Amino acid sequence: MAEPILRLDGLRKRFGGLAVTDGVSLEVPPGEIHAVIGPNGAGKTTLIHQVSGTLRPDAGRVVFAGRDVTALSLARRARLGLARSFQVTSILPGFTALENAALAVQARSGSSFRFLRPAASEAALNQAAMDALERTGLADRAAVPAAALSHGERRQLELAIALAMQPRLLLLDEPLAGAGPEETERLVALLRGLKRRYAFLLVEHDMQAVFALADRISVLVYGRIVATGTPDAIRADPEVRAAYLGEDEAA
């Protein structure tokens, strides 16, 4: 197997007496879509926070592209190519869709301590931003203020921002949350189109989407990974069925 783009090594995080992340280790090789699933309260979002750098683990390491990034901030990890989307869409509402993406391009191309030239007239920034919008199907909405976009379009925009960062790993925290059936279909198609070119670590509640997209799935229960494998293997795993999928079927 190729050198993994992301490796989590015995991550632990406690809140008071509660072990929310309890010795999580996993690897994401380049080009893989790796999904983390688990029942509510399993610690999925806490895990994402530790990978992205918004939360410091109590123990363990986060190794990104061969480099130990455990002590680095969200911004530093982002500059190394770790792009994160949020459970609640996080965009710049007063900026146009294009400028939202252009800020991400700007962050990757040279210093932002430039005071004279209007940033909106920098063709290189706009071109790369437009490319990202095109790849997420938002090209015709480039000039629209982000606040005026629909919920699904905002999800697409967040993905465009991530792509504009030229990431090596996309860390998606419930990218389908709150999307309607049609929007979900469009977003799943979009993610499938990006497969192989990027590595993904994906937390998602929509099981249909997860099993359709993921190359491998890790099941998180009470802060521990109880199983990791291909979608078929996970579907067949008795422990997983007991801990998690069974609940769904019973419901």
Give contact residues for another protein (rule: CB under 8 A). 52, 73-76, 78-79, 83-84, 86, 90-95, 99, 102-104, 106-108, 111-120, 122, 161, 164-165
CB of 160 to another protein, least distance (A): 12
Structure tokens at 184: 């979900």
For residue 57, what are the contacts with CB-CB under 8 A and spacing of at least 6? Answer: 11, 12, 13, 21, 50, 70
CB of 169 to another protein, least distance (A): 13
Kindly tell me the sign of the dihedral angle through the C-alpha atoms of 109, 113, 117, 120: positive
* 8 A C-beta contact, residue 39 and residue 221: yes
Nearer to another protein, 170 or 213 (CB): 170
Residue with tokens 């109880």: 226
* 8 A C-beta contact, residue 132 and residue 163: yes
User: CA 9 to CA 225: how far, in whole Å?
Assistant: 12
CB of 86 to another protein, least distance (A): 8
CB of 167 to another protein, least distance (A): 10
Nearer to another protein, 98 or 179 (CB): 98
Nearer to another protein, 114 or 196 (CB): 114
Nearer to another protein, 34 or 84 (CB): 84
Q: In a 3-state reduction of DSSP, which class is residue 61?
A: strand
For residue 223, what are the contacts with CB-CB under 8 A and spacing of at least 6? Answer: 13, 19, 20, 21, 22, 23, 24, 42, 43
CB of 89 to another protein, least distance (A): 10
| Cβ neighbours of 22 (radius 10 Å) | 18
CB of 136 to another protein, least distance (A): 15
Nearer to another protein, 40 or 115 (CB): 115
Nearer to another protein, 9 or 131 (CB): 131
User: CA 213 to CA 229: how far, in whole Å?
Assistant: 13
